[in-house]
Amino acid sequence: MAVTRAAVLGSPIAHSLSPVLHRAAYAELGLDWSYDAIEVTESTLTSFIESCGPAWRGLSLTMPLKTVVLPLLSRASDLVDVVGAANTVIFGEGGPEGHNTDVNGICRAIAEAAGDAFAPRTATILGGGATARSAVAAVGHLGVLDVHLCLRTMTRAEEFADLAARLGVNVHPHGWAEASRHLDGDIVIATTPLGTADELAGAVPAKPGALLDVAYGADRSRLVEEWSARGAPVADGFGLLLWQASDQVTLFTGEPAPIQAMRAALREATGR
In 181-227, beta strands by DSSP E: 187-190, 210-213
Please give the span between the terminal C-alpha atoms of the chain, in angstroms, as a whole number: 38
Give one DSSP letter per residue of 108-158, joined into a string. Answer: HHHHHHH-TT---SEEEEE--SHHHHHHHHHHHHTT--EEEEEESSGGGHH
- b or e along 72-94 (b: 16 or more beta carbons within 10 Å of the residue's beta carbon)? bbeebbebbebbbbbbbbbbeee
Residue 66 among the catalytic residues? yes
Query: Annotated catalytic residue: which of 66, 133, 148, 182?
Result: 66
Three-class DSSP category at 7:
strand
Rounded CA gap, 1 and 14, in Å? 29
Among the listed residues 82, 10, 89, 85, the one whose alpha carbon sits nearest the alpha carbon of residue 42: 10
Active-site positions read 66
